[in-house]
A and B are shown apart, each in its own frame.
Chain A
Amino acid sequence: MATLEIRDLHVTVEVENGTKEILKGVDLTVKQGETHAIMGPNGSGKSTLAYSIAGHPKYTITQGTVTLDGEDVLEMEVDERARAGMFLAMQYPVEVPGVSVSNFLRTSATAIRGEAPKLRTWVKEVKESMAALQMDPAFAERNVNEGFSGGEKKRHEILQMELLKPKIAILDETDSGLDVDALRVVSEGVNRIRETGEVGTLLITHYTRILRYIKPDFVHVFANGRIAESGGAELADKLENEGYEAYVKGGASA
């Protein structure tokens, strides 16, 4: 069973007036089949955690380790991490002009699977996933994320997650900017993938709303660059009622 282990992770980013430490010692273990929600106020470092694990060049790891089944993830290039089974559904997926969704998906699946998927089964696979996510088949011929609405971008991210079958998926604020209908469709997509038991999910969110659709096994409160508290699904209810205030103050005085 695949396991992602994050130990004492410290991450800095270059800002206008120097270097700023965003992550200040994150410890977290995510196993295949589990769903963890990471919740926290704006600026707490949630997205930095997601992008650092995926290998975005903007972030510098200054301390700590990230391993996937004992393999050092931080030593891998961005594409190697994806091929090792990591997936990041992005909050702001970028436009890639000139590359159609269908070409992108197939190139990506070929890279991840190590061989080109057989055309006939592949077409069927893509069609079914798109239908389940209520995506128009014409979508496949559009350029990646070009002119997509917020909801279309997020569906497209989950479509990729379903086709690429990662061992560990990080969903960075997949719920933000979605109306209730889109949130439901996207959540159902994530749940379908979770039900396979093949994926460990790290669900990063600002709001408790998505947790009504996707039930986490663990909830972690993220504040001031580290996990401030961990618990079960009930912790989300507490956050729903009380907000992040206690954690923000605690972080400031620490």
Chain B
Amino acid sequence: MAEAQNIPVGSTTAGQIAVAAESTVATRMSAPPSFDVADFPVPHGREEEWRFTPLERLRGLHDGTAVATGDGVKIDIDAPEGVVVETVGRDDARLGKAGAPVDRVAAQAYSAFEKAGVVTVPKETVLTEPIRIAVHGEGGVAYGHQVIELGAFAEAVVVIDHTGDAVLAANVDYILGDGAKLTVVSVQDWDDKAVHVGQHNALIGRDATFKSFVVTFGGDLVRLHPRVAYAGTGGEAELFGLYFTDAGQHQEHRLLVDHNVPHCKSNVVYKGALQGEQAHAVWIGDVLIEARAEGTDTYEMNRNLVLTDGARVDSVPNLEIETGEIVGAGHASATGRFDDEQLFYLMARGIPADEARRLVVRGFFAELVQQIEVDDIEQRLLVKIDEELEASV
């Protein structure tokens, strides 16, 4: 696996694997963040933040033609005792506190939803069971907004599970009070035709810990913006991602960690496997260390495993540092292939072909899967990985 972090802009490594590097966070935004969709022009595809995305497959989410149909998604929330689950109107003050939309579709979602969900874990409440939010697509178009707020020193695990078929633009706010601990697992296990675009904003309180797993398997097009900012010193963010991109799928993860406060940590690890014609994964990892964010410690990494010909990865890590008074900062992007020679090597040791593939892909994802620590989700992911591999043979 070749380390690609020092490869110049626009250069290409082996075959169809393109790795770009070193563009700046500032140039990537064509418009400042806003809650109003009218503040963003309709993208044409040449804009930096849209250039990897096939706009024609957004089903109108980007140009105002996708109208909510009422049968978009069905949401079921299963929360342990002590958790407050509410459905609120657009004027609720808790909405949008974690961050403003940064692109047209996120703003469209914010401008178009009618009701929002708010899940609150009161201060000092420590949950022993996960909060489960099931988002099931019913075939229509939907816009949504979900807030998950933890009071000071609260601890919770939240699983947001996306299944079925829908055209969905929805944002999620995670608000962590001081000393709170939140683990979020967002699973995109959509049917083949689904389109899902969203922005995840985490605002991390003083000494709070945010751990996020973004797991994308399904959908025709999934484009997510996981973003982190800090509300106080001592905050920690671990952003983990897994994606398995199949033939024809477009899966795009665009991260931003904004070190806007001193003495915070962030660690980003996203791993993807790709197989089949026109499988396209995009990973953008922006880390900004602002001038005032002394004592920052950050690392981000993206690894991709390309299992067959015809798949494409665009991986763009970017680190922008405005102060030298930091503990550490680094990034890496590497894309490797599972090729015929690897298959031959493993088979020459008696391992059948399908098992060889499984071994490699499971091994590749294992370090992340094991950290999820929600048993049924871990098991489901492993089963899913095996299913994906079997489907490819």
Contacts and interface: CB of A to CB of B under 8 A. Distances in A.
Nearest to A89: B348
Contact of B350 (A83, A98, A103): A83
Nearest to A79: B347
Interface string B347-386: 1111111010001110111100000000000000000000
Given A97-B336, A98-B364, A100-B363, A90 B349 contact: no
Contacts, number: 82
Given A99-B360, A100-B363, A146-B1, A56 B344 contact: yes
B56 interface: no
Contacts of A97: 1, 305, 336, 360, 364
Interface residues of A, number: 31
Interface in A82-103: 82-83, 87-88, 90, 93-100, 103
A95 B347 CA distance: 14
B350 A96 contact: no
A88 B348 CA distance: 7
B349 A108 contact: yes
A167 B42 CA distance: 68
A88 B1 CA distance: 24
B363 A90 contact: no
B348 A99 contact: no
Q: What does DSSP make chain B's interface, helix, strand, loop or mixed? A: helix
Contact of B353 (A79, A87, A107): A79
Contact of A99 (B336, B352, B363): B363
Contact of A79 (B340, B352, B360, B366): B352
A160 B355 CA distance: 18
A54 B340 CA distance: 14
A77 interface: yes
Interface in B307-352: 336, 340-342, 344-352
Nearest to A96: B342
Contact of B349 (A56, A82, A98, A103): A82
Interface string B124-146: 00000000000000000000000
Contacts of B342: 94-96
Contact of A90 (B345, B353, B361, B365): B345
A194 B45 CA distance: 65
Interface of B: 1, 305, 336, 340-342, 344-353, 355, 359-361, 363-366
Interface of A: 54-57, 77-79, 81-83, 87-88, 90, 93-100, 103-104, 107-108, 111-112, 143, 146, 160, 164
Which 6 interchain pairs have the tightest Cβ spacing? Answer: A98-B364, A98-B363, A111-B350, A82-B350, A78-B347, A108-B349
